[in-house]
Amino acid sequence: MQHSGVLHLRNGGTSVVLDARDVPLPAIVWWGADLGDLADAELEDLAMAARPQRVSGGIDTPTALALLPQEATGWFGTPGLAGHRPGGRGFSALLCTRDLDVAEHAGQLTGVVVRAADDAAGLAADLEVEVTPAGLVRQRVTLTNLGDEPFELHALAPVFPLPAGADELLDTTGRHLRERSPQRHAFTVGTHVRESRRGRPGADASLLLVAGRAGFGFERGLVHGVHVAWSGNHRLLAERTPTAEAYLSAGELLAPGEVTLAPGASYRTPWAIGSWGDGLDALARRFHDELRARPHHPHRPRPVTLNTWEAVYFDQSLERLTALAERAAAVGVERFVLDDGWFRGRRDDTAGLGDWYVDETVWPDGLGPLIDVVRGHGMEFGLWVEPEMVNPDSDLARAHPDWILRGRADLPVPARQQQVLDLSRPDVRAYLLERLDALLTEHDIAYLKWDHNRDLLEAGSAEDGRARVHENVKALYALLAELKRRHPGLEIESCASGGARVDLGILEHTDRVWTSDTLDPVERLQIQRYTGLLVPPELMGAHLTTPHVHSTGRTVALDLSAGVALPGHFGIEWDLTTLDDAGLADVAQWVALHRRYRDLLHTGVVVNADTPPDRDVRGVVARERDRAVITYTQVTTSVTYPPGRFTVPGLDPERRYAVRVVAGSVADGPGQSPLPWTQRPVTLTGRQLGLVGLQAPVLHPGRLVVLELTAQS
C-alpha cells in the first residue's frame, strides 16, 4: 500500500496516526477514537498541527515525542532506551528510521514495523506498532547489538502519548488477601512510576496505569491505559513534561547486568498494550474482546469447581475426600481439585516442596482410588502444584542446593518457609518437566492449580551470580507450553499466593487466574471489579465459601458469597460434608443458577454502575443486548432509608426490558412494606433503566439480590 510520511492505522474503532516525516523516529500524533477515512493531505495537516514550537530557553530544534524517546533528539524526559558499552561508553544512541514495513487488512493500514539503526552506536531496533481487531494498541521493540563489544541494557520501553485533558491517574496497589486496591492521583508535571521488583507482578502490582479526565468512572469519562504483558519485574510510567507532552509507558524492569547483549544478540520487549474508552468499562471491553478472540481461549463452559483447601487443608484421606466428592457431585460440581498436601513429606507448609511424588503414607494406593471416585461421579480431577518453589526441608533441596536462586553465597531471606528454583537452568527444567509429565501421564488429571507462593529476592544464578528473573519468566512460559503440547486439553490456573501473578503474559499459557486468596465476598467486590479491567469473568476464579470466612473472620450470608462469585469461573471452597440436606440444596440452587446463566456471563459485556460506596451494582449484558444479569449488593448501611434508586448501564436504550428478581431475598422486614416493583414486575426501556432506575431494595448490609432483565418483543 502506498502511503505518505504520515501513517493512519485503524482497527476495532481505534485510530493511531504516526508522523514519520523528517524525524529520527515516528511520533504518535493521535491514539484514540477512529478518525474515519482521511486523505493524505488531511493527515499531513493533522501532523503539522501537532508539531512543537521553538520557545525561549529551549533547544533550537524542538522534537516531538517519538515512539522511543531519545536524548540525542533533545528529549529531557525519561528515555525509551538506556544502556551502555563497557566502561560506561556509548550511553547515547540516535536510532533513525531506515525503513517502514506496513501491515494492512481489507485495504486499511493496521500495523507498522519501523526499522531503525544507529551505525555509529552499533545498534539496530525494530519498533512494532499494531492496532488489533478489538481496538487495542500493541507495541514492542527488538534491540540488536551490531557492535563488536557487549551492550548492557538498562531499560527499553515504548510510549503511548495521551490526548489533551488527561489530568488524573488511576492505578492499583494491594497485598496478600487484598489485591487490586484502586488509588488516584493528580497527573501533574513530573513522573509517576509503578514498579514491581518481586520477580512476579506481585499483589501490590498495578494491572494498568490509566490516565483520564478528573472524575472518570466505569460508566463515563475518556480514559487511556497501558498494561505490560509480562509475568516478571516491570515498570509502568506516566510522565508530563514542562513542554506539555503527556504519555504512558510500559516495559520490563531489568536488574543490573540482567540483559547484556553479546555482539549480534537481540532483546525483545514484552508487548506493551494500550486501551482507551469512554469510561473504564469501555477500556476493559477491548481487553476482554481481544482475549476472547484468541484461538486458544477456553470456549467450552467453565467447569464449576470445588477446591479442597479450605475444606480439609492438610488433613487428607481417601475416606474424607470421597465423602466430599460425593457431596460436590450432588450439588452440581463439575471439577474436583485436590489442593496442597498430597506429595511426599508435605504434612504442613514447612517441608516437601520440590518432591513431586505422591506421598505413600497418606495415599498408600496412590491417587488412583480418589481419581476413580471423582471421575465416577462425572467430575474432572485437578491437582495443586507449586513447581517453581522448594522447601529447604526437602529431598530436592538437600540434593541440589545449587538449584536455588540466590544473589550471594547465602540464601535469600526465606518467605513461607521456602525458596525459589532457578528455572533458567536446563537441569531444573528437565526435572520439573519429567515430574509433572509423569503425574499427568500416570493419572487422569484435567487441570493443574499452579501456585507461586512467595516474592523473589536476590533472584540470581548460583553459577555466576547474575540476575535471572528475565530468564526464569521465559523458562516458565516454555515449561507451561511444553506441558500443554504433551497433554492436549490440559487446563492450568495461574495462582500466586492469590492474585499476585495476573497479567496477559501468563494468560497466554494458562486458562484462568486465582483472583485472590480471600474468599470474603465484601473484599472480593473490589478485587474482582478492578481485576476485571483486564480479565473477563470466565478467566477469574471466584468461589463461594463458608459462612464464617477463614481469611477475615467475617460472617456472610450465602446469597452474598455465591452472588459475588456468580459471574466468574464459579466454584466452591467449603467442607460440604458439614451441611445438612437443606444447606446442600441451597448451595445446589446457586450452582444451578450459575450454570443457567453461564453462557451469558462468560460471553457478554461487563457493566459496572458508578454508585455510592454503600452499594454495588454490576452485571453482564448479552452482546445482542436482549438479556442481562445484574447483582445489587447492599455493602454497608445506607445514609438514607430506604436507600434510593439505582441505575443499570449498558442496555439498549430503545428496547423494553422485563425486570425480575431471580435470587437473593427482598422479603419484608419488620415495619417494612413490600417493594412495589417486585410485587408487580415492571417493564422499562434501557434508557429509563440507565437514567431513571429502580428503587433499591431495603437489605441488611452484606446481602445481595440477582436480577434478570429480558428484552420484550
Q: What is the pLDDT of residues 304-357, one digit of tens each?
A: 999 999 999 999 999 999 999 999 999 999 999 999 999 999 999 999 999 999
Matching residue, cell 493527515: 43
182 vs 668: CA distance, rounded Å: 36
| pTM, 2 dp | 0.98
Residue 670 has pLDDT above 90, yes or no: no
Whether 40 sits among the annotated catalytic residues: the reply is no
608 vs 218: CA distance, rounded Å: 6
What CATH number has the domain spanning 607-711?
Answer: 2.60.40.1180
In the chain, where the domains are located:
6-52+60-292, 305-602, 607-711
Average pLDDT over residues 607-626: 98
Q: Which of 208, 160, 157 has its CA nearest to residue 184? A: 208
Confidence of residue 669 (pLDDT cuts 50, 70, 90): confident
Helix (H) or strand (E) holding 441: helix 426-442
Q: Which residues 6+ apart lie within 8 Å of 700 measured at CB?
A: 634
302 vs 538: CA distance, rounded Å: 7
The pLDDT value recorded for residue 668 is 66
Residue 496 has pLDDT above 60, yes or no: yes
Q: Which residues 6+ apart lie within 8 Å of 225 measured at CB?
A: 170, 208, 209, 210, 211, 248, 274, 275, 276, 283, 533
The pLDDT value recorded for residue 568 is 98
The pLDDT value recorded for residue 662 is 97
The pLDDT value recorded for residue 706 is 98
Q: How many C-beta neighbours within 10 Å does residue 289 have?
A: 18
Tell me the CA distances in angstroms from 219 to 26, 223, 610, one per residue in order.
Answer: 34, 11, 6
Average pLDDT over residues 468-477: 98
Residue 544, classified by CB atoms within 10 Å of its CB into exposed (0-12), middle (13-18) or buried (19+), is buried
Got the DSSP string for 34-94? Answer: ------HHHHHHHHHHT-----TTS-SS----BSS--GGGT--S--SEEEE-GGG------
Average pLDDT over residues 695-704: 95
Tell me the CA distances in angstroms from 272 to 26, 208, 275, 663, 681, one per residue in order.
Answer: 17, 11, 10, 41, 48
β-bridge pairing 335-338 and 380-385: parallel
637 vs 126: CA distance, rounded Å: 56
Confidence of residue 411 (pLDDT cuts 50, 70, 90): very high
Q: Residue 193 corresponds to which amino acid?
A: V
Got the DSSP string for 596-629? Answer: HHHHHHTTSEEEE----TTEEEEEEE-TTSSEEE
What CATH number has the domain spanning 305-602?
Answer: 3.20.20.70
Q: How many C-beta neighbours within 10 Å does residue 444 have?
A: 13
Q: Which of 590, 545, 569 has its CA nearest to residue 495? A: 569
6-52+60-292 topology per CATH: Beta-galactosidase; Chain A, domain 5 (2.70.98)
Q: Is 374 helix (H, G, I), strand (E, B) or coil?
A: helix
Confidence of residue 262 (pLDDT cuts 50, 70, 90): very high
Q: Which residues 6+ apart lie within 8 Å of 56 measured at CB?
A: none
- Taken as a whole, the chain contains a residue count of 713
**Exposure on the CB side of residue 267, measured as CA atoms within 13 A:** 24
Q: Which residues 6+ apart lie within 8 Å of 106 measured at CB?
A: none
Q: Residue 432 corresponds to which amino acid?
A: L
461 vs 268: CA distance, rounded Å: 22
400 vs 465: CA distance, rounded Å: 17
The pLDDT value recorded for residue 667 is 74
Whether 451 sits among the annotated catalytic residues: the reply is yes
Active-site choice (19, 171, 355, 517): 517
Q: For residue 652, what is its C-alpha cell?
A: 439498549
DSSP designation for 515: -
Helix (H) or strand (E) holding 312: helix 309-312
Q: Where are the beta strands (DSSP E) in 451-521?
A: 491-494, 512-514
The pLDDT value recorded for residue 531 is 98
Contact 511, 165 (CB under 8 A): no
Q: For residue 130, what is its C-alpha cell?
A: 499494531
Residue 120 has pLDDT above 80, yes or no: yes
Q: How many C-beta neighbours within 10 Å does residue 5 have?
A: 17
Q: What percent of the chain has pLDDT over 70?
A: 99
SS3 content of the chain, % helix, strand, coil (to 5): 20, 30, 45
Q: For residue 539, what is its C-alpha cell?
A: 478467566
Q: Which residues of 251-276 are buried (b: 16+ CB within 10 A; e: fewer)?
A: bbbbbeebbbbeeeeebebbbbbbbb
Three-state DSSP string of 218-268: CCCCEEEEEEECCCCCEEEEEEECCCCCEEEEEEECCCCCCEEECCCCEEE
Q: For residue 299, what is its C-alpha cell?
A: 470456549
Active-site choice (204, 355, 451, 616): 451
Helix (H) or strand (E) holding 663: strand 656-664
Residue 251 has pLDDT above 70, yes or no: yes
Q: Is 533 helix (H, G, I), strand (E, B) or coil?
A: coil
Q: Which of 245, 167, 266 has its CA nearest to residue 211? A: 167
Contact 280, 608 (CB under 8 A): yes
Q: Round the average pLDDT of the chain to a whole number and report it.
A: 97
Q: Which of 519, 699, 528 has its CA nearest to residue 614? A: 699
DSSP designation for 148: S
Cα-to-chain-centroid distance, residue 517: 16
Contact 294, 180 (CB under 8 A): no
Q: Residue 435 corresponds to which amino acid?
A: R
The pLDDT value recorded for residue 713 is 86
Contact 544, 573 (CB under 8 A): yes
The pLDDT value recorded for residue 2 is 52
Q: Which of 365, 367, 404, 405 has its CA nearest to residue 384? A: 367
Of residues 1 and 701, more confidently modeled: 701
265 vs 258: CA distance, rounded Å: 14
The pLDDT value recorded for residue 690 is 98
Residue 571 has pLDDT above 60, yes or no: yes
The pLDDT tens digits of the residues spanning 44-100 come to: 999 999 999 999 998 998 888 999 999 999 999 999 999 999 999 999 999 999 999
Helices and strands per DSSP (H, E), number in the chain: 13, 38
State whether the Cα torsion 398-401-405-409 is positive or negative.
positive
